[in-house]
Amino acid sequence: MSEINSQTKYSSAITKTSGGVHERWRLIKDSLARYGVVIGGLGVIVAIALIFFYLLYVVYPLFISATAESVHQYQVPEASLGKTVLLGVEEQNEVAVRFTDAGQVIFFEVATGKNILTEAIKIPEGAHIVSFAQGSPNNEGAVIYGLSDGKAVIVKHQYKVTYPNNIRKITPILSYPMGKEPLLVDVSGAALEKIAVKIGENASTIVVRSANKIRMAHFEKEKTLFAEEATVTRTDSVLDYSAAEVTDVLIDKDERNLYLLASTGQLALFDIVDKSSPVFVNKQNILEPDLKITSAVFLNGDLSLMIGDSSGLVSQWSKVRDKQNNFSMQKIRVFKVSDKAVIAINPEQRRKGFVTLDTDGMMGIYHSTSEREMIKERIGRSAPLSAAISPRVNALLVQSDDNLISYWKVENEHPEVSLRSLWQEVWYESYPKPDYIWQSSSANSDFEPKYSLTPLVFGTMKAAFYAMLMAMPLALMGAIYTAYFMTPKMRQYVKPSIELMGALPTVILGFLAGLWLAPFIEQHLAGLFALFMIIPLGVMLFPYAWQYLPKDFQESIPEGWEAALLIPVIILSAWFAFSVSVPLEGMLFNGSLREWFKSEWGIGYDQRNALVVGIAMGFAVIPTIFSIAEDAIFSVPKHLTVGSLALGATPWQTMIKVVLLTASPGIFSAVMIGLGRAVGETMIVLMATGNTPVMDISVFQGLRTLAANIAVEMPESEVDSTHYRVLFLAALVLFVFTFVFNTLAEVIRQRLREKYSSL
């Protein structure tokens, strides 16, 4: 007996020891799982926060204010050689140039003012300089001097860069593109009181005001295949215009338009495509009666005129075609830069910005498209006379009337972006009215970037709307039927099959949508519309016909499998819809539904449009919504449905009043997750639409989404450029939108859960 008791105690001790080990091991695993879940959750939160702050870090410089710092001040180099009529700076900010009214050209160091080279322009004896003008600032530095004997001298200041001993050396060069001998512009020998020039590779145009007439001389080089030297053909013409009040003459870079301005505010526009006979376009007043034009220059690209007046306003005027297809100059925008008269406007050479100087010594830097005032600084106590901004817009030279030149360093990286240019309508050059436009790049260096995010956000919402319009009814109705009405055996086949659809790569869906679905819908548009009418009709007629089938046949179909018979019904209905659409389209719509839409309603049709996106992206979203919603409906406790049926409710009443309400948090989550998938989809939208950033609600027009735009343009954007940072801003907008929308969705889901948890 004692042996039995000792063995029992021993076995009990072993059991307790074994149980204690297992209990401790279970507690350890429980702790590891708990900490793992906590660490994983915190890791997700940290990752999301890091993504947000990185996007913010890249985007933040877009909205930093520009700065200007006065670095050095020195005496005007060779001040005794005449008054400055033009200052210029080369790209590296090492060498500057000063043209004087005496025909002297002085090259000097930007940082110190030390003289590098001085050259005198050859002026014929008995003649003197009367006028001066600059060609396009980015046209290799061409300038022209008008003389008192009707002649003109054209020179270019250029800079040769060499690297002796791996040290950069910039050598200034003064060249004569039309020869050192002065060109006779006015054959009568009258003084060239006002002058303008445009120098092209094969053609050049000079326009002057002399003896109260506007004369134009056009030179065109022609080189034959066998000739060693090109021959120059000259065309002269006299404009039929009273030139007495003309104070400014401007020619655009394409030598197609001539602008004549009077200080009183009159602007005359001439079409000079035909150089032998210029055509007067129109004449208009651009200032209030009491104001005077004090400065007039082209903005970069020569599509807009910047007009400074005596009240301190700078207005931008651009050539716009009106509804009658006639051109006129329209005032796009106005900048209030000062309370004093604007004496100088210097356009940037590579962007749509400009520098202003007023009589009170205030210097301002502005950007036309974004309408931003970047910098406003007082340059000194004396009135400014002339200014020059470097091609890279990181240096500025300003000469004042006390014979001092101030050298300023400028930081102005991203002036093209403002809240207005991103989200509001902007009146771009040559456009008939303000609009929302996204066009980030062009082959032309004079291009005006258009960074409106509004059409991209609109395209994102449009694509998501049409995708959800297709996916939600099919996915939710399918989930309800599969979870509540379908037999378990059939559900085992249907649910995995639909979930398998979610495994299809979106690039394959986009490829099929773009190369097969889009052309198919274009050819069978009427059939597609017929499909939405005939399939529901066929599905409704099938149950009606079912009751007339033989009872033996009805009973041979297992209960719950009747829905499988709808598959051939749907296929036959679709075939019938596309078959009957061809004769119906010819009979009702004169052969083409697309042409009927255009002629009757003015609705155009693009092959790759929102309809194609809605079908393709809806197909991709259906598995997500279906799977989550079906699980939510199927997980409704059985005692709720059984109790409802026991109380006399029909299956449909039970589903609507009990099942759907109880499963509503899960159904809502399914819809929100599907919407998030649609908003962030990239490849389908990229391949199935024309990828055009247009704002048109029509289902037959294309679109561009934020995600697709980032995917297309990010690989070709320059790192840290404005374009690059705006793309990150688009990503930030998409991130914030998704985060806010999902947060609100979660709040609503929790409230629905609390409301119906008592059922």
- DSSP-assigned letter for residue 268: E
Distance CA 529, CA 308 (A): 59
- The answer to whether the beta carbons of residues 648 and 738 sit under 8 Å apart is no
Query: Is residue 42 classed as helix, strand or coil in its secondary structure?
Result: helix
pLDDT tens digits for range 396-426: 999 988 888 989 899 988 899 999 999 999 9
User: What are the residues facing 95 on neighbouring strands?
Assistant: 109
Which amino acid belongs to residue 506?
A: T
Backbone angles phi, psi at 56, to 5 degrees: -65, -35
Quick one: which H or E segment has residue 219?
strand 213-222
Query: Which contacts of 91-95 are long-range, i.e. CB under 8 A and separated by 24 or more positions?
Result: 91/159, 91/390, 91/391, 91/392, 92/161, 92/168, 92/170, 93/390, 93/392, 93/394, 93/395, 94/170, 95/159, 95/170, 95/172
- Look up tokens 């005596």; give the residue: 310
pLDDT of residue 1: 54
Q: Which two tokens stand for residue 211?
A: 């003896």
pLDDT of residue 227: 56
Query: Which contacts of 429-435 are long-range, i.e. CB under 8 A and separated by 24 or more positions?
Result: 429/299, 429/301, 429/303, 429/304, 429/318, 429/332, 430/303, 430/318, 430/319, 430/320, 431/320, 432/320, 432/321, 432/322
Distance CA 687, CA 705 (A): 12
pLDDT of residue 759: 58
Distance CA 437, CA 340 (A): 35
pLDDT of residue 757: 65
Q: For residue 464, which of 608, 627, 610 has the smallest C-alpha distance? A: 610
Which three-class secondary structure string do you get for 331-378?
EEEEEECCCCCEEEEEECCCCCEEEEEECCCEEEEEECCCCEEEEEEE
- DSSP-assigned letter for residue 18: H
Distance CA 686, CA 499 (A): 24
pTM of the full structure: 0.85
In sign, the C-alpha dihedral spanning 284, 287, 290, 295 is negative
pLDDT of residue 758: 61
Beta carbons within 8 Å of 136's beta carbon, 6+ residues apart: 142, 198, 253, 298, 302
- Angle separating helix axes 660-680 and 722-756, nearest 10 degrees: 180
pLDDT of residue 658: 87
Q: For residue 459, which of 618, 677, 723, 689 has the smallest C-alpha distance? A: 689
Q: Which residues of the chain have pLDDT under 50?
A: none
Query: Which segments of 436-565 does DSSP mark as H helices, in order?
Result: 454-480, 488-501, 506-512, 518-523, 525-546, 551-556
Query: Which contacts of 69-74 are long-range, i.e. CB under 8 A and separated by 24 or more positions?
Result: 69/408, 69/409, 70/379, 70/406, 70/407, 70/408, 71/111, 71/407, 71/408, 71/409, 72/111, 72/112, 72/406, 72/407, 73/404, 73/405, 73/406, 73/407, 74/112, 74/113, 74/404, 74/405, 74/407
- The answer to whether the beta carbons of residues 565 and 557 sit under 8 Å apart is yes
- The answer to whether the beta carbons of residues 425 and 436 sit under 8 Å apart is yes
- Angle separating helix axes 2-59 and 722-756, nearest 10 degrees: 140
pLDDT of residue 423: 92
Q: Which two tokens stand for residue 366?
A: 């502005």
- Angle separating helix axes 660-680 and 610-634, nearest 10 degrees: 150
Distance CA 281, CA 302 (A): 18
pLDDT tens digits for range 671-709: 988 888 888 888 888 888 878 888 888 888 888 999 999
User: Going along 26-103, which residue ranges are E strands?
Assistant: 67-75, 84-89, 95-100
pLDDT tens digits for range 167-200: 899 999 888 888 888 888 888 888 998 999 988 8
Backbone angles phi, psi at 15, to 5 degrees: -60, -45
Distance CA 245, CA 305 (A): 19
- DSSP-assigned letter for residue 509: H
pLDDT of residue 83: 92
